[in-house]
């Protein structure tokens, strides 16, 4: 992942409150958010700030789900007036975001909101990414400039799957049954297996759908 060099990171990032324990699910920690302040068509410029996780979840924010792309191909964006090298795919995502209906709201972007030069912070924030995605208003999934109707159908399939797994028949009182061993699950799997979408070039060839973490982000949101 592209990241600022250490001198830029030292100027850009103030220390934030890290989770006390990843075992207890403690949510008294901080995250950073950004807003895009440049106008559409202008070079991307962002404002970055920190907020407690609880405050951010209460006020509301979006989270970006995207594939980083080739880390060796970067473009400069500005973050709090400082140069930041972002991957080409992230720049495209932020340009799309700047033109979208969501731009008036803050967004969480891993490459910018986590200090990639601070290993302890990065490790702790990554452990809590599940909470970050489940607590956001919505994950904005950027598949690239060539996304089409087949991608929309795949998102609908994911949504249907999540609804199936929350079906009352899956909420039995037998603690020995997990989603993978529950009888209702067999029907869910059969429905998914029979869909032609999983055999489509979009699903098999588009990088977004072949990365475990981006698929998880889409499901968590």
Q: Looking at the domain assignment, is residue 166 inside a domain?
A: yes
For residue 143, name the pLDDT band (cuts at 50, 70, 90): confident
Nearest residue to 6 (alpha-carbon basis) of 57, 82, 72, 58? 82
Residue 30 β-bridge partners? 52
* Together in a domain, 91 and 58: yes
Longest dimension (CA), the chain: 57
Mean pLDDT of 118-123: 91
Nearest residue to 60 (alpha-carbon basis) of 146, 155, 132, 125? 132
Query: What Å distances lie between residue 148 and 80, 142, 144, 200, CA to CA?
Result: 34, 12, 10, 13
* Together in a domain, 46 and 70: yes
Q: Looking at the domain assignment, is residue 33 inside a domain?
A: yes
For residue 24, name the pLDDT band (cuts at 50, 70, 90): very low
Nearest residue to 30 (alpha-carbon basis) of 16, 49, 20? 16
Q: State pTM to two decimals.
A: 0.71
For residue 23, name the pLDDT band (cuts at 50, 70, 90): very low
- Total count of domains within the chain: 2
Q: Best-predicted range by mean pLDDT among 132-141, 173-182, 184-193? A: 132-141
Nearest residue to 109 (alpha-carbon basis) of 119, 96, 120? 96
Q: Best-predicted range by mean pLDDT among 105-114, 148-157, 187-196? A: 105-114
Domain boundary among 98, 118, 142: 142
Give the structural domain span for 183: 149-205
Q: Looking at the domain assignment, is residue 109 inside a domain?
A: yes
* Together in a domain, 123 and 173: no
């Amino acid at each position: 992942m592209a990241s600022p060099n250490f001198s830029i990171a030292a100027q850009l990032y103030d220390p934030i409150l890290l989770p006390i324990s990843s075992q207890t699910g403690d949510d008294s920690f901080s995250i950073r958010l950004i807003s895009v302040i440049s106008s559409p068509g202008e070079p991307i410029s962002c404002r970055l700030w920190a907020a407690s996780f609880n405050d951010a979840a209460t006020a509301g924010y979006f989270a970006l789900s995207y594939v980083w792309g080739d880390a060796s191909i970067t473009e400069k964006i500005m973050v709090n007036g400082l140069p930041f090298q972002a991957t080409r795919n992230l720049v495209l995502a932020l340009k799309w975001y700047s033109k979208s209906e969501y731009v008036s709201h803050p967004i969480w972007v891993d490459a910018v909101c986590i200090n990639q030069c601070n290993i302890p912070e990065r490790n702790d924030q990554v452990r809590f990414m599940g909470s970050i995605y489940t607590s956001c208003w919505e994950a904005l999934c950027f598949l690239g400039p060539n996304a089409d109707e087949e991608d929309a159908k795949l998102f609908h399939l994911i949504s249907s799957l999540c609804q199936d797994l929350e079906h009352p028949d899956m909420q039995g009182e037998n603690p020995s049954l997990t989603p993978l061993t529950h009888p209702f699950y067999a029907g869910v799997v059969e429905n998914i297996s029979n869909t032609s979408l999983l055999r489509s070039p979009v699903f098999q060839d588009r990088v977004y759908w072949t990365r475990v973490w981006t698929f998880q982000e889409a499901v968590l949101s």
